[in-house]
Amino acid sequence: MTVPPGLESSHASVLLGELNKLRGLQYSDANLALDGDSLDVASVVAVARHGLTPHVKDDPEIKRKVVRSIQVLDHHIENGWVVYGVNTGFGGSADSRTEQLKKLQISLLQHTQSAVITSTDLAQDQVDQDGQSHVIPQLG
């Protein structure tokens, strides 16, 4: 797809660019090299929806940045500083604090995954005694 003249810097232009990149990734045998700088929407969709395999690029500079990030996070936690989503909740719970970081992280992951369903969750044999899906009610 091409961008119409005069719309090169528009939202439509960005969207078409991402769509074109997604189509290229979708039909590629390539893996996605995560380098800490170049992740884009098309790549995330290609991994999440089309089976593109991501891997962390084998680069000493990337490893150094990851180690440095961990050190900064550890420093913040050791000093009792607030780190959103690490020692706080999310959203409306962001003002809650805890010293039980591992338990909080597990709870946050469970919370963010609570609405994730798979195709087998919607299978016709997965119904309760009222004939409703065990995950979500029938709509319509």
Active site residues: 84
Cα–Cα distance, 39 to 42 (Å, whole number) = 8
Dihedral sign for Cα atoms in the order 29, 33, 37, 40? positive
Which amino acid type is present at position 89?
A: G
Kind of pairing between the strands at 32-34 and 54-56: parallel
Task: State the virtual CA torsion across 60, 62, 63, 64 in degrees, nearest 10.
Answer: 90
